[in-house]
Amino acid sequence: MTDVGAAPGVERTAQPGALETLFHSDQGGHEEVLLCQDRTTGLKAVIALHSTALGPALGGTRFHAYAGEARPEEAALRDALNLARGMSYKNALAGLPHGGGKAVIIGDPDQIKTEELLLAYGRFVDGLGGRYVTACDVGTYVGDMDVVARTCRWTTGRSPEAGGAGDSSVLTAFGVYQGMRAGAAHRWGSPELTGRTVGVAGVGKVGHLLAGLLVEAGARVLVTDVRPGAVAQVLAAHPQVTAVPTTEALITAEGLDIYAPCALGGVLSDTTVPLLTADIVCGAANNQLSRPGVAKDLAERGILYAPDYVVNSGGVIQVADELHGFDFARAKAKAAKIYETALEIFGHAAAEGVPPAVAADRIAERRMAQAANAERAYA
């Protein structure tokens, strides 16, 4: 799962074609890929189901133009494949009765997103008969899911007014915080973060909430963001937080204990890893490793890496709970178990002499294989 590709809009080089990936690569093996088109509304979409071994595939709907790509449709398909596979691993380690899936609507949401297009998309998802459950992702929001739900019963991430759970940022931040506590317990013998220095790169909805949790825990918090307004909001809410001008200044800060990337993917790279002063990396951003070998580079430097798809799973835990009539206390209790899951992964990694990302992949793959074998035995 560690090879999940580059962030949307980043030019990719030496990439195999999407069909090559699907049928011949270790990154493939998807059960089903649906290409959707509705010319009346301008909808072009990809729905990828990686695995339903643990249950119906669950994953968000990304709305993105891929404008920086030479072949946007090919890039969207490849992104959907990568993201769907990642959701299989995330859901498996979150203990959810769901496999992994992801959808990508191709286009600039500011230009082409309409109610009619979302309704058309919902009809395609509904046509899968519950094999795929969708939710929000980059470029889609709670209000969009309310619209999609009008033509698709397999929709989560809706507003409370529409019977949903609303914004999932609260439990996403809470889960990352639990991952940090697990990292502290493994590295320093105690989950307490009091007096620790934590740097949060990216203070959007999740990063802002995470900063608040860290302040409450007694940590010294440094923040940075390319948007000055986002930093200003954090400082207004928590005056004791310190703003840092750039991510490079943050990751090289003296005395930094934990680095929390909470913005773009691919931030752990050949360039940044040698500069890190932190002992632990634990953040909400998806696809933090720019390539699989970076996990080994971190381990060789003695930096404990909390796999992103483990610690940022609070959001998917929330939307999964919505399918059963959302109860915040119940969902939060499930998200709190991210602490035990992360500790288990760190323990396996140490015992097996592998990076935590590899240990996490192995545990997830074992759970999916056991479920698939049980299903075949039952059949």
Told to judge if 113 belongs to the known catalytic residues of this protein, a careful annotator would answer: no
Where would I find the beta strands (DSSP E) of the chain? 32-38, 43-51, 57-64, 99-106, 132-136, 197-201, 220-224, 242-243, 258-261, 280-281, 304-305
Integer angstrom CA distances of residue 353 from 53, 189, 343, 359: 29, 19, 15, 9
350 residue type, one letter: A
Integer angstrom CA distances of residue 286 from 57, 112, 172, 294: 18, 26, 12, 15
Are 346 and 183 a contacting pair, CB within 8 Å?
yes
Q: In angstroms, rounded to a whole number, what is the distance separating the alpha carbons of residues 66 and 318? A: 28
Q: What is the DSSP letter of 161?
A: G
| Lookup result for tokens 């294989």 | 369
Q: In angstroms, rounded to a whole number, what is the distance separating the alpha carbons of residues 105 and 91? A: 22
| Lookup result for tokens 């297009």 | 117
Instruction: Report the SS3 class of residue 110.
Output: helix
Integer angstrom CA distances of residue 223 from 68, 235, 246: 29, 9, 9
Q: Which helix (H) or strand (E) holds 26?
A: none
Determine the straight-line distance between the first and last CA of the chain, rounded to whole angstroms.
28
Copy the structure tokens of residue 216: 């409450």
The catalytically annotated residue of 102, 113, 332, 334 is: 102
What are the residue numbers of the active site? 102
